Amino acid sequence: MQITCTINGKIHRFDCAPETRVLDLVRDAGMTSVKAGCGEGECGACSLFVNGRLVNACLLLAPQIHDAEIVTLEGLQEETAAIRESFAEHGAVQCGFCTPGFVLRAYDYLSHGGERSEEAIRAALDGNLCRCTGYKKIVEAITKVKS
């Protein structure tokens, strides 16, 4: 089937089977910040925005993004600069696999006026797993993002 959508502002057309995961479509289109982690909606490494909402690309099927506006970390370089700097400054990155997902969630949270308390940030990160950092530095980095 034919799927048309915009990814980071550019129109993309795909000819694919309806059961194709959005995760695979966007990675094949070159957006490799979207990571294939658990594949089951648990880890958030595949997070991306669809029409302004952060969702798991591993659970979404191709038809669900027809005519939609997709945004990945590649399309939010300027908007996330302060967050990425804060992650680097606070050592909130080890292997880096989970980082794009965390940065997008942090951006989503902060741009909706999310509270900067540790408790609220930990709760907001309920859909992102990290196997390396122990979260302490990630939470600290998000608390201290310069606005």
Partner 1 sequence: MNYLRATNLGEVTALLEEYPEALLLCGSTDAALQLRHRPETATLIDIHALEELKGVSAEGDRMRIGTLVTLNELLYSDAVRESLPLLAACADTFGSHQIRNLATVGGNIANASPAADLTAALVALEASVTLASQDGERSVPLETLFCGYKCTKLDHELITAVTVPLQTGSWYYRKAGMRERLNIAKVSIALTHGSGGFRISGASLGPSPVRFRTLEALLDGGVYDDAAIKAALENDADPSGGYRSTKAYRLRVAFNMIKEALSQPEER
Ligand X SMILES: Cc1cc2nc3c(=O)[nH]c(=O)nc-3n(C[C@H](O)[C@H](O)[C@H](O)COP(=O)(O)OP(=O)(O)OC[C@H]3O[C@@H](n4cnc5c(N)ncnc54)[C@H](O)[C@@H]3O)c2cc1C
Applying CB under 6 A, the residues found at the interface with ligand X are 40-42
- Please name every residue paired with 15 in a beta bridge, in sequence order, or none if there are none: 2
Q: Please, are residues 92 and 140 in contact by the beta-carbon 8 Å criterion?
A: yes
Of 51, 95, 115, 116, the one binding ligand FES (CB under 6 A) is 95
To partner 1, the closest distance from the beta carbon of 80 in angstroms equals: 17
Q: Please, are residues 90 and 141 in contact by the beta-carbon 8 Å criterion?
A: yes
Structure tokens at 79: 């908007």
| Interaction of residue 25 with ligand FES, rule CB under 6 A | no
7 vs 60, which CB is nearer to partner 1? 60
To ligand X, the closest distance from the beta carbon of 45 in angstroms equals: 13
SS3 call for 15: strand
Q: Residue 3: exposed, middle, or buried by beta-carbon count in 10 A (0-12, 13-18, 19+)?
A: buried
Of 25, 54, 121, 130, the one binding ligand FES (CB under 6 A) is 130
Residues of this chain that bind ligand FES (CB under 6 A): 36-39, 41-46, 56, 58, 93-98, 130-133
